[in-house]
Structures are given as C-alpha cells and as structure tokens.
Amino acid sequence: MEQVVDFHTHYMPDTIANFEADGATRLTIETPTCGQLYEKGKHYRTIDERCWDAQRRVNDMDERGIARQVISPIPVTNSYASAPDAGLAFARLHNDGIAEVVRARPDRFSGLGAIPLQDVDAACGELAHLRNDLGLLGVEIGTVAAGRELDDPVLLPFWEQCNALRAVIFIHPETAPGFERHRNVVQFGAAGAYPTETGLVAAKLLLGGYLARFPELTIVLAHCGGTLPWMLPRLDRFWGGTKAWQEKLPEKPSVAARGFFCDTLTFDADNLEFAAKRMGTDHLMVGSDYPFGVMEDPPGAVLSDTGFDEATKDRIRAQTFRRLADHVAGAA
C-alpha cells in the first residue's frame, strides 16, 4: 500500500511575524507554540506551532504514516488588498520560508508559493523566481484578486507564465464579493461559501477554455472541486444551446472538466465517489487541510469508506501526485 502524500496543507514561516503593511495579514507569535493572525486589524484565528514548525509536522506525519506534505500558504495571507510592493515583499517572505523547508527535507516536503496577484507584472516575476530559483512546484491563489476574477483578461500574462513554467496552480478560496453576507453565521464562509466559490470559479475557467489554452499548467481545485462536479450536467445542457460557450470550449464541459485535478477533502465517501465519477480517479489527490481543526485526520481516511479498489486508492494516495510532479519537472 502506498503511503499518503497530503497535497492540501498550510504553512507560514515564522519570519513573517510582525510584518506590517496596509492590506496584509499580520502574524504575532506569543509563545513557541501559539500565535495569532490578524486581518484588517481584527483577530482572525489562533494558530499553533504546526503552522511554522517543520519538525513538528514531520513528527505528526510519522505518527500517521504520511510520506509527504505539499505545503502552501494559509489563504488569508494572500493579502491581495495590499500595495504591490508590500504584497511582493510579503509573498517573498513566504516563498523563501517554504523553500527553506523543502530544501532541508526534500524527502518529506514539496512546496507551493505565494504571488502578489493584485499586480500582474509582479506576480509573473515572483512566479518565475519561485519556480526557477527556489524550485517550488507552483503557487496557491485565491479566486478573486484585487477585484479581478481569475478569467479577467488582465490576468492572461499570469496564465501564460504558468503554462510556460509548467506550474501547479492550487485554487483555494478565502474571500470573494458577497462573502460579507455570510458573516452573520459563524464559520459559514469556510463551510458553505468556499466549496460554492471553488465550483463557480472553476466553471468560469472551464467555459473560457483555459484548460485547453494552457495545457502545460496543472490546476488543482481545493475541496474536491467544490460544487463543480454537481454543476456539470447543467453546464452541459446550457453549453449545447450557447454558441458563445462552444466557440471557446468545443467539447462538453463534463468532458473538459476531467482536465482539472482535485483534492479528496469531502469528509464523505459518497461525495468522493461521485466527484471521482465526474473528474476521474486519476485526477484526485489526498488533501487534509492540516493543521486546522476541521482537517481530515488521518489524511486520506475517507478512502477506507469508498468502494475504490486498492490500485485506485494507491493512485489517489500518492501516484497521481508523483505523476504531476514529474510533469512539472519536465520528466513526463
């Protein structure tokens, strides 16, 4: 049986502590095992050393039989509201810190970095740096950057750069227009709005023909694609009668969608099996949301409740990630 590669984990280097800039998330480390995150001057979340202590993460991985973590920033630290120079400085702190962890333990960690997507030129420059100089697989991005949707034409140079560099793009929502209306229900944004937002943005990229236009990049959708697998039959129906969609996407959305990759973070075997039917079992990778309270623990536990055979489970546990990493490296 393959040991698990956990694709969906979050990390923040302690070097970002006390970085201050308008629009940037702030970390205060109070003790070696406790820190506080602030967004827009308000307390956002209490976190612990698992967010910045690589050895603690290795210990947890060993206890759970996890072979590797792919570490990416905590989404709230995207800080797309900050000025471009501050956003670049903040992203660079993340990228250098993540790269340091990967360099120290390349046998246990792979990394996705951060970019200041509010400034396309700066984002492209940092993407080249983290891929070519730091050796990271790619980046984690939100679903909206400085008011721009991911299919905004202004962002085309970013997508072109991702394609040229064979980058992995992990799309993970954090905020979006309209999210404020969910603040009246504690945790509803993450619980209900995140998967919906993931599905909406993925559908727009799909209908825009991004997967065909940029075949060398790899888009990974958080939370098993969110609502996208459930939307596909309806998208197919509308695609059949919408010439403008067909001009950008010559095949049915349900067919083209199998070009996305997804994590397994559904917390439910039935949902995972349904998503696998839509997206393909060869495009799924284990994701846990480590180290947060809602994480699946142990990572990949949902697989034991599915009807997948062992060969399929092994693809999801580790083999698909290795295939993806080989593609990024130009070996596949």
Per DSSP (E only), the strands in the chain are 4-10, 26-31, 34-39, 42-48, 66-72, 109-113, 138-141, 144-145, 148-149, 168-171, 218-221, 261-263, 284-285
pLDDT of residue 332: 58
In the predicted model, what is the mean pLDDT of the chain? 95
Residue 130 pLDDT > 80: yes
Residue by residue, DSSP assigns 78-101 as G-TTS-HHHHHHHHHHHHHHHHHH
- Spatial contact of 288 and 254, defined as CB atoms under 8 Å apart: no
pLDDT of residue 191: 85
Extract the tokens encoding 250: 């010559």
Produce one character per residue of 296-329: b if its CB has 16 or more CB atoms within 10 Å, e if not: bebbbbbbeebebeeebbbbbbbbbbebbbebbe
- List of residues 6+ apart from 277 with CB closer than 8 A: 229
pLDDT of residue 174: 87
Q: Please tell me the predicted confidence (pLDDT) of residue 175.
A: 81
- pLDDT above 90: percentage of residues in the chain: 89
Summarize pLDDT for 27-44 with one digit per residue, the tens. 999 999 999 999 988 899
Residue, of 136 and 177, whose pLDDT is higher: 136
Q: Which of 1-15, 104-118, 164-178 has the lowest mean pLDDT?
A: 164-178
CB 167 within 8 A of CB 146: no
What's the confidence (pLDDT) of residue 157?
A: 97
Contact (Cβ atoms closer than 8 angstroms) between residue 284 and residue 320: yes
Angle of helix 269-279 relative to helix 228-240, nearest 10 degrees, comes to: 40
Residues 38-97 have pLDDT tens digits of 998 889 999 999 999 999 999 999 999 999 999 999 999 999 999 999 999 999 999 999
Q: How many CB atoms lie within 10 A of CB 49?
A: 18
Average pLDDT over residues 101-117: 98
Q: Is 127 in contact with 98 (CB distance < 8 Å)?
A: no
Structure tokens at 310: 């062992």
**Per-residue pLDDT, 66:** 98
Q: What is the pLDDT of residue 331?
A: 67
When pLDDT is cut at 50, 70 and 90, the band that residue 190 belongs to is: confident
Write out pLDDT tens, residues 230-284: 999 999 999 999 999 999 999 999 999 999 999 999 999 999 999 999 999 999 9
Q: Residue written as tokens 């983290």?
A: 130
* DSSP state for residue 251 in the 8-state scheme: S
Residue 140 class from Cβ within 10 Å (0-12 exposed, 13-18 middle, 19+ buried)?
A: buried
